[in-house]
A and B are shown apart, each in its own frame.
Chain A
């Protein structure tokens, strides 16, 4: 086990590396504010997740020297970008050094000839796109957290873009990146070599090894990203259904349409519609018969989108779906990021309104398995709601998961409300076991327990070996080889197992 020993000598070394006022932070507010990511959080145990020191580097060389220092003295080191991840990836489990990379937010090169932009990992996508706008291009990584997530965190979690069907997800849109490995070497990883090369047949494709590393294999210090032409036209249509099954089949018809401009297909299940109806202030009233919603978006040139839009309307209505109307369709789609905010209240068992935090459990599920998974998930949710009066089932939504191939696997998320003010150790453990049961269902049905959040929060983390199966051994071998002292974000994804002595 890694032991934290941050003493005056280490702090002196950090000060010498960074040589800037306010770049090495040991005060309590700096540390408490970097102990958490979005809720829920075991706030009754906040003090267990406090880093000993926070550093704010500006350059790759800074990061490399800090990592070498941590490795030399076996000090835990945790990279932190936006801190907006939903799976505690950036939460330090064992104190140590938090490397907050927000100051590495420069745009280093806009290459309009090769359609790339090279940035520091601390830049936000919306901010980046404002700078790209005059050039007629966009970096189309579009998560719900578009306004706050940072490029480094997107790589760390291998995020999902709401426009992924059209433009790809983070791993498709990041062409190559520079990463400081756990022993402090600076390497560039892509498909093969070449910072701006999108496809290679040379060597191992290391980009994919480090993509979604959850801070366990290093700290990203620079990334070269895809630039695509700004869409001339955008179209979104929402359809209303009397039952889940018709909406589910319509989802497939849209996803399998073969329309190249398809940005994504989304749907809400009856529990989600119920929840919006009862507790969402921003919900625009729909008739009582509405039990499910399915929506699709298109992005591209005017000539493509105008031709494809009637096809979306036809498919959306083909099984009896009713179009919601232009105003709500365009408004709801435009609000896709802000709708990330759920109402901050839910209901207790007696239907009383209670203040609640939002938790979102994601998984990637084969299309054929989605209805069965959702039935099991809601059964599990109901069990916990009955047993602990601090949970509320806020319904599920699904989203096309495959980059450029929207027709098969599906991102499925169930939203749960948690009465966090009432959280104690017993209910926290109940939450963890709720998560574990939900994750196990995903694995049982041939899915992956996380499509985009990461399997780093308790409840998921224990199941990583199960999901990885025989390849878990390879994963441990890689981790041990790259991080011999287990300094890089230790305690995540059950990777401590890589360091356990084997008895023969």
Chain B
């Protein structure tokens, strides 16, 4: 490349002169410089084809590579937060890019180093909130969450029955105590939208004689707020929840939802340090154990031909992929057509990271493609283990005649439980 041949341009948008960074940007750049350099200085882009959003938009701005490259451009004063704000909306925080990154693959085994992209996206979104550049639908969502103390999963307009008054409605007739050593934390989408999941979960645990209770006052976990950049709100909600647990002398939290599990095992410890001394259990691990130990007997055959959707936060973020397969293989009558977890690094529902709130059309297309993959296997059912994935996947499944079930629902049916509740309002 030679510089002397480049004439002045008359661009539609001027490039301007490099700017000095403000304090918030400088801190962002200082935090992420080394991580970004690891990507920028190689530029392999192995992440691009696994990225569920990029697969749909085919726009290089939405690639994990761009998310890192922008850090360098910010540092050099070429771009500012406003320039890149919309780009960072295009992410489900699935973590596929992180596991596919050759830098992670080649040094990760030895040093547990992992290219961090999800955290970069979240940090940028926090900057956007600071600067009033957060997206309109996210503002509404988080304002309502703040008012209701739970996410407005049934809609952001009009009166919706999803405030604190209804947070335990799903449990009607199940006779679940408040408090105890172990708490079942029920995600907002499950508590109000797909109530069949918490009902199935609770009844499975009761059947297996596993004691648990509910919170005095369960607020949203705060995870979605953190994903969209509303850090203060996320921390405030987290504080409420751990205070509530402390009040009941809780030792153990069962997360029935993968996003919550990530939030409890990563964000809460980072918010509270040593104060956070709770044991966090993912329901899939627990149910697999109950089946393995013979405490839960699956006897009712489920005559379905299924494939399993590895929820991103279980598979790509937390490495949980064996337990759900173990569970599915234990269900009698089921024909299970598996797709390996590595192939599924490039699969997603599009339901995470606030994407469906701000870019629902991209979420719908990601889910459509996921169901198309399922259809190639000639299955009648796609099984997931993440309630947030199940809404967009179900919508896509309706279009091509494939049922979307939660793995816990199938377990409950196979254990002879009449679940009750609903899979959609």
Contacts and interface: CB of A to CB of B under 8 A. Distances in A.
A340 B7 contact: no
Given A33-B69, A93-B1, A83 B45 contact: yes
A436 interface: no
Contacts of B10: 4-7, 52
Contact of A126 (B5, B49, B102): B49
Contact of A421 (B9, B37, B84): B37
A344 B41 contact: yes
Interface string B60-76: 11000110011011001
B78 interface: yes
B83 A29 contact: yes
B79 A29 contact: yes
A493 B182 CA distance: 69
Contacts of B18: 47
Interface in B17-66: 18, 34, 37-38, 40-46, 48-49, 57-61, 65-66
Contacts of B45: 82-84, 148
Given A46-B78, A339-B106, A344-B103, 18 more contacts: A27-B83, A28-B15, A29-B79, A31-B15, A33-B70, A36-B43, A47-B15, A50-B9, A93-B2, A338-B102, A340-B44, A341-B46, A341-B105, A341-B106, A343-B106, A355-B41, A357-B42, A420-B40
A95 B11 contact: yes
Given A6-B9, A29-B87, A341-B105, A39 B42 contact: yes
B78 A145 contact: no
Interface in A431-485: 457-458
B78 A100 contact: no
Contacts of A126: 49
A84 to B, nearest CB: 5
A83 B6 CA distance: 21
**8 nearest A-B residue pairs (beta carbon):** A341-B102, A357-B41, A38-B43, A102-B58, A52-B11, A103-B58, A281-B107, A95-B9
A420 B41 contact: yes
A233 interface: no
Contacts of B73: 29, 32, 46
Contacts of A105: 58
A240 interface: no
Interface in A33-86: 33-34, 36-43, 45-50, 52-53, 56, 82-84
A6 B11 contact: yes
29 contacts: A3-B7, A4-B7, A4-B10, A6-B10, A26-B12, A28-B13, A32-B69, A34-B60, A39-B43, A43-B76, A46-B78, A52-B10, A88-B1, A93-B2, A95-B11, A124-B48, A145-B44, A281-B106, A282-B106, A282-B109, A339-B102, A339-B106, A341-B42, A342-B42, A355-B34, A357-B42, A458-B1, A491-B5, A496-B5
B358 to A, nearest CB: 14
B172 interface: no
Contact of B38 (A37, A48, A344): A344
A213 to B, nearest CB: 19
Contact of A148 (B15, B48, B69, B72): B48
Nearest to A339: B106
A122 B49 CA distance: 11
Given A1-B7, A39-B43, A32 B79 contact: yes
Given A95-B6, A95-B9, A148-B49, A344 B42 contact: yes
B3 interface: yes
A127 B49 contact: yes
Contacts of B57: 22
A353 interface: no
Task: Name the residue in B42, B44, B58, B72 with the highest tally of chain A Cβ atoms < 10 Å from its Cβ.
Answer: B44
A56 B61 CA distance: 12
A147 interface: yes
Contacts, number: 192
A39 B41 contact: yes
A127 B40 CA distance: 24
Interface residues of A, number: 78
Contacts of A22: 57, 59
B79 A124 contact: no
B293 interface: no
Interface string A1-27: 101111110010000000000100111
Given A39-B40, A46-B76, A93-B1, A281 B69 contact: no
A392 to B, nearest CB: 13
A100 B129 CA distance: 31
Given A1-B7, A48-B6, A458-B2, A36 B59 contact: no
A325 interface: no
Given A6-B11, A281-B111, A491-B5, A30 B41 contact: no
B72 A340 contact: no
A424 to B, nearest CB: 13
Contact of B59 (A5, A102, A458, A491): A102
Contacts of A124: 48-49
A356 interface: yes
Contacts of B41: 39-40, 344, 355-358, 420
B43 A37 contact: yes
A351 interface: no
A37 B41 CA distance: 10
A91 interface: yes
Nearest to A425: B3
Contacts of A50: 9, 11, 15
A6 B12 CA distance: 7
A94 interface: yes
Contacts of B60: 30, 33-34, 83, 100, 102
A103 B70 CA distance: 22
